[in-house]
Amino acid sequence: MRGPLGAVLERYPLSDGTTEDGGIIRHNRKCRDVAFLVIFIAFWVAMIVNSSFGFNQGNPLRLTYGLDYKGNVCGDKHAHPGLHQLELKYWLNPNQVYQSGVKDSQFKLSNARSICLLDCPTPLEDSLSWVCDYPEGDIHLSMDDWIDRNYDYYEILTLGMKNASLQLQGPCYPVIFPSVNVYWSCQYIARASNASLRHWKQMGGVDIKEDIVVDKSIHSFINSRSSVLKRYMADIGKAWPVLIVCGGLLPLFLSVVWLLMIRYFVAAMPWITVAFFNILIITVTVFYYLKAGWIGNDAISPIIGDHDPYMHVFGRELNHLRAAAILMTFVMVLSILTSIAIVRRILMGTSVLKVAAKVIGEVQALIIFPVIPYSILAIFYMVWISAALHLFSSGQVVQNNCNTNCCAYDLLSEKVNCDHCCGYSIRYTPHIAVAIFFHLFGCYWATKFFIACSSTVIAGSVASYYWTRGETSSEVPVLPVFDSMKRLIRYSLGSVALGSLIVSFVESIRFILESFRRKLKVTETTPDSWFGKMVYHTSQGCLSCVEWTIKSVNRNAYIMIAITGKSFCRSSAIATELIMNNILRLVRVNVIGDVILFLGKLFVSLSSAVFGFLVLDTHKYSSGHNKLSSPLLPVLVCWTLGYVVATLFFAVVEMSIDTLILSFCQDSEEHEGTAQFAPLLLMETLNEQNDMQRLTQ
């Protein structure tokens, strides 16, 4: 049996030798779980090394722009030749594009001759236009002159070069098909220009394949899974100002306003939170329907710049938005029904929030304290996102090994070259995938760690308020927070690192198992027997229950770490015993308060998502260089960042309630059922007889 918490309190000696009536959480503690603090520090060193690899090897331009036949990234001003502002990838040889799309063909589109242009070429109505290779060798033109001539220097070619061009071997190639800028690649439209074809045949050019395969080949390349994933990551880089404002500053403002309103308008805040939550989740769902094209005419388009309004090109991103819209519909309906179900219980939640509001009023530094972990996390996220973009683009640019006909005229050697004419691709080695997973896990662990540190500091401050009957806070309102921070940094960082590691590890395992489950579902290898199906489906529910239980135990363990200074495992055992001994009291009072706080977090994060949608729908992010492939991922990141910020600030109320309740339970056990240190308002709220009367009414 554990000892009473009264043993962890000590008195302030005064100058006359007497003892002050109040007390604080004792300071003569020991460092706990030091090994896990060492592991956490070593993990951060590994994160720095891992990020350095990304910064050294990666190039975020690769996420947006393609490679030319020399392995240069389009738009790279440091390439040779310089490709500044030449950002569009264009495939020169239409027959190679056709060949890459033929079923069972060994020729890949990545081996087709491609260069970088300023805009996508279109056929002329009265003559044949050409797009020629980069000027070099005997073609004495600068890159600027080449661009001014619309990439056409066919008229200055030698006879041999012209004959090679008529064989579709370069250096100049005819513009037969119109093309449109689709995600910075010129996609052919399988609608050949009759005038251009007539001129081509009159000049004695080889037969050019006219088939829908020309269109589908490039379309399939642009909409491959790897290309879509790269564009999503590039969207994060383009939308970084939106992430800072809507994912960082806006939730900071809303969270502080919510805390202040809890302090002064506690009776109305649960109703306001529920009402605004429902309005916002409906708004987010409507935005998804708008961008998916199911409402109005504002669906996302993969085409960049001006184009024929009758030309329609669809990307995989549109399907993802429609799937998100369907998912949000179910979430919206479930959320509204849940809100209706808890309306009758809101009064009980209000009584608990009143206690937290009183604590916030007494320990006023609690409202400002979350700014400290918020600032640390903000700096961490900015560096982490930059490193993530570099890691995702850190593959090696290597020349393909192809055994197909890719012959093209080489201006430097002045002959048709059939050796080393294969295209270039970005090759990702397995260790890059490991580095990316390590980077993602590090972000999650760091986030959980800083949230846990914040929660522990808040718990220590509120515990000081409770066990000293509020006397310390009434004299020096700032001291409990700084004393709690000092105890955390000096004694308990290892325990917090262990708790956050357990949650991160369990959720990572759950994510991996969920990925395997989806792969099994896609490959139709779901168990056929009823027992196999039962195990298959119940395993997910069990993992979810384990995850929820660990999160709940961790939160209460942090409270006991702040109060007792014990190790994480010992604090978890103390908290679990207290909870089990007072389970009915905790369930009746605390559940509805937790639901309201959860809705409050969603209110802040949904506000971030709504404003993110509004900003990303402006001209800046819907056209030109900053055009996003889809607002889906930036909005989800804004939503997630908003939820993290709300969690930091709402922990002031959440941890205040939990700390007061656990302290009250321990206080009652130590004094034969009658708490001696509890404030009057808390006594009225948690007293079983008064609570039962309120439920009956």
Q: Which residues contact 200 (CB under 8 A, 6 or more apart)?
A: 128, 174, 176, 208
DSSP 81: S
State the residue range of the domain holding 339: 34-57+228-303+312-395+413-426+437-682
- 545 & 450 share domain: yes
CB-based burial label for 131 (10 Å; 0-12, 13-18, 19+): buried
- Residues linked to residue 116 through DSSP beta bridges, in sequence order: 89
Boundary of a domain, candidates 173, 190, 223: 223
Residue 539 has pLDDT above 70, yes or no: no
- 273 & 190 share domain: no
Average pLDDT over residues 640-665: 88
Please report which residue ranges of 370-429 form alpha helices under DSSP H: 371-392
In a domain, 690, yes or no: no
Residue 529 has pLDDT above 70, yes or no: no
Residue 680 or 35, more confident: 35
In a domain, 626, yes or no: yes
Geometric angle at alpha carbon 593, from 589 and 598, rounded to 5°: 150
Model confidence at 541, pLDDT cuts 50, 70, 90, reads low
Q: How far apart are the first and last CA of the chain?
A: 39
Q: Please state the pTM of the whole predicted model.
A: 0.85
Tally of domains within the chain: 2
- 173 & 136 share domain: yes
- 344 & 218 share domain: no
Task: Detail the DSSP E strand segments found in 540-621.
Answer: none
Q: Report pLDDT for 666.
A: 79
Residue 525 or 615, more confident: 615
In a domain, 20, yes or no: no
Q: Report pLDDT for 679.
A: 72
- 43 & 139 share domain: no
Residue 141 or 342, more confident: 141
Q: Report pLDDT for 611.
A: 94
- 513 & 537 share domain: yes
CA distances from 186 to 62, 82, 133, 691 (A): 16, 20, 16, 69
Boundary of a domain, candidates 200, 223, 246: 223
- 351 & 484 share domain: yes
Task: Detail the DSSP E strand segments found in 450-516.
Answer: none
| 647's tokens | 């969690």
In a domain, 408, yes or no: no
DSSP 489: I
Residue 45 has pLDDT above 90, yes or no: yes
- 455 & 561 share domain: yes
- 583 & 639 share domain: yes
Q: Report pLDDT for 688.
A: 46
Task: Detail the DSSP E strand segments found in 7-150.
Answer: 9-13, 19-25, 88-91, 114-117, 130-132
Before 81, cis peptide (omega within 30)?
Answer: yes
In a domain, 122, yes or no: yes
Boundary of a domain, candidates 196, 223, 250: 223
* 500 membership: H or E segment, kind and range: helix 493-522
174 φψ region: left (φ > 0), alpha (ψ -120 to 50), beta (else) = beta
Residue 645 has pLDDT above 70, yes or no: yes
DSSP 102: S
What is the SS3 assignment for 364?
A: coil
pLDDT tens digits, residue range 8-31?
Answer: 444 333 334 444 443 435 556 788
Determine how many CB atoms are found less than 10 A away from the CB of residue 234.
24
In a domain, 623, yes or no: yes
Average pLDDT over residues 209-229: 86
| 437's tokens | 């997973």
- 368 & 497 share domain: yes
CA distances from 588 to 22, 349, 421, 466, 583 (A): 31, 10, 74, 21, 9
Residue 294 has pLDDT above 60, yes or no: yes
| 74's tokens | 């389009």
- 389 & 528 share domain: yes
What percent of the chain is modeled with pLDDT above 70?
A: 83
Q: Report pLDDT for 347.
A: 64
What percent of the chain is modeled with pLDDT above 90?
A: 26
Average pLDDT over residues 606-625: 89
The overall average pLDDT reported for the chain is: 82
pLDDT tens digits, residue range 69-108?
Answer: 888 999 888 888 888 888 899 999 888 888 888 887 888 8
* 173 membership: H or E segment, kind and range: strand 172-174
Q: Report pLDDT for 169.
A: 86
